[in-house]
């Protein structure tokens, strides 16, 4: 499931993006500012950003989808990132992802029904030598397995 997406007004969005409009390459700073304000880049922000930067909605949406740091819905209390790049996939990452997603009952990018965990893909954490790699709330985990990830998520919940 996805958490309820915030519905900021056009004026709210304009206020958040205004300080960044004069920057060189303003789109990424604007998207970061929007995500910092609402925990995600809500759909409502896309046309406002597109208009302000003279871009199409598709261009803005394309950037939001391309960068895995941007979310289209707010995250749960914990964010678990599982590496889907080649080295990790070859070392059990695929099976680990399937086990974790199955156990939590979510798909990529989704949050558990209790709002505890969001699972997101990541494409190489620089830990290929310790594959499969994961990240729990910003902490990298090498040679990850389901039990270790469970323990880290439980620890973070304490
Ligand atoms: S491929 Fe997974 S950490 Fe590099």
Structural domains in the chain plus CATH codes: 10-66 (no CATH), 78-157 (3.40.30.10)
Token pair for residue 147? 């039990």
The pLDDT-based confidence of 156 (bands split at 50, 70, 90) is low
Q: What is the C-alpha separation between 117 and 153, in angstroms, rounded?
A: 8
Q: Is 135 in the pocket of ligand 1 (CB under 6 A)?
A: no
Q: Which ligand 1 atom sits closest to the C-alpha of 87? A: 1
Place 33 in a pLDDT band, splitting at 50, 70 and 90: very high
CA distance 137 to 118: 10
Mean confidence (pLDDT) of the chain: 92
Residue set of the binding site for [2Fe-2S] cluster = 83, 88, 124, 128
Q: Look at residue 75 and tell me whether its pLDDT is greater than 60.
A: yes
Residue 157 pLDDT level (bands cut at 50, 70, 90): low
| pLDDT (average), residues 33-60 | 96
Binding site membership of 49 for ligand 1 (Cβ less than 6 Å): no
Residue 104 to residue 98: CA distance in whole angstroms? 10
Band of residue 3 on the pLDDT scale cut at 50, 70, 90: low
Per-residue pLDDT, averaged over 16-36, amounts to 96
| Residue 155 confidence (pLDDT) | 77
Q: Are 53 and 24 in contact (CB under 8 A)?
A: no
Rounded Cα gap, residues 32 and 86, in angstroms: 28
Note the pLDDT of residue 2: 55
Please identify, by atom number, the ligand 1 atom nearest to the C-alpha of residue 125: 3
Query: Quick check: 158 pLDDT over 50?
Result: no
Q: Which residues are annotated as a binding site?
A: 83, 88, 124, 128
Check residue 21 and give its pLDDT: 95
Check pocket membership of 127 for ligand 1, CB cut-off 6 A: yes
What is the Å distance from ligand 1's center to 96 Cα? 14
pLDDT computed for residue 51 by the predictor = 97
User: Rg (Cα) of the chain, in Å, rounded?
Assistant: 17
Which residues are CB-neighbours of 82 under 8 A, at least 6 positions away? 93, 96, 97, 100, 119, 120, 121, 122, 132, 134, 144
Q: Which tokens belong to 100? A: 């974790």
Please tell me the total number of residues recorded for the chain in this structure: 158
Total-model pTM:
0.80
Residue 11 has what pLDDT? 96
């Amino acid at each position: 499931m996805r958490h309820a997406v915030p519905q900021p007004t056009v004026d709210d969005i304009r206020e958040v993006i205004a300080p960044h409009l004069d920057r060189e390459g303003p789109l990424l700073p604007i998207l970061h500012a929007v995500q910092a304000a609402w925990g995600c880049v809500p759909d409502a922000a896309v046309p406002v950003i597109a208009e302000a930067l003279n871009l199409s909605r598709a261009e803005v949406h394309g950037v939001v989808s391309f960068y895995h740091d941007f979310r289209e819905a707010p995250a749960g209390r914990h964010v678990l990132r599982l590496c889907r790049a080649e080295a990790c996939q070859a070392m059990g990452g695929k099976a680990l992802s399937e086990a974790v997603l199955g156990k939590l009952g979510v798909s990529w990018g989704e949050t558990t029904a209790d709002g505890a965990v969001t699972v997101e893909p990541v494409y190489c954490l620089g830990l290929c030598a310790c594959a499969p790699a994961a990240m729990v709330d910003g902490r990298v985990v090498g040679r990850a397995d389901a039990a270790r990830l469970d323990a880290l998520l439980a620890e973070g919940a304490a």
